[in-house]
């Protein structure tokens, strides 16, 4: 839907990457992260697309759980856009699916919580693994 809207000049991609002509979105399970310009008219088109998607599929966006994370966008502009979209404003660094997201390269200390969770999970399997090898 977003690619069709982009081809019809309703929305524009904020990225100019020649190897991928598609609109930039990241999807995992039932989460979607679109990367969009801070433009009210484009945000209106995207919200309209989401309303059509909900009408066709029965799946609805939970705007109360949605957040906008600005990149180089003034606070007053973000207030306007978040009010228009009906969601909260977030900020970087941000954690998504347990992974730290940031505009800069993550530092070791940024990854420690994730490494601790992996370590705890592996330690939970350790007794079972020892029983299997004996």
**What confidence score (pLDDT) does residue 79 get?**
93
Which tens digits make up the pLDDT trace of 39-60?
888 888 888 888 888 899 998 8
Task: Return the CA Rg of the chain.
Answer: 20
Which tens digits make up the pLDDT trace of 98-125?
777 877 887 888 888 888 888 888 887 6
What distance in Å separates the CA atoms of residue 112 and residue 119, rounded to the nearest whole number? 10
CB 49 within 8 A of CB 56: no
Give the contacts of 42 (CB within 8 A, at least 6 positions apart).
Answer: 10, 11, 12, 36
Write down the pTM of the prediction: 0.64
CB burial of residue 23 (10 Å; 0-12, 13-18, 19+): buried
């Amino acid at each position: 839907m977003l690619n069709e809207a982009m081809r019809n000049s309703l929305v524009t991609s904020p990225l100019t990457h020649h190897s991928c002509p598609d609109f930039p979105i990241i999807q995992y399970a039932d989460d979607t992260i679109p990367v969009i310009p801070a433009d009210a008219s484009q945000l209106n088109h995207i919200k309209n697309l989401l309303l059509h998607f909900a009408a066709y599929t029965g799946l609805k966006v939970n705007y109360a759980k949605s957040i906008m994370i600005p990149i180089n966008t003034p606070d007053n502009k973000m207030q306007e856009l978040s009010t228009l979209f009906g969601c909260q404003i977030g900020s970087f660094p941000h954690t998504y699916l347990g992974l730290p997201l940031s505009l800069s390269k993550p530092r070791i200390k940024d990854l420690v919580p994730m490494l601790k969770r992996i370590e705890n999970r592996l330690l939970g399997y350790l007794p079972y693994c020892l029983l299997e090898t004996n």
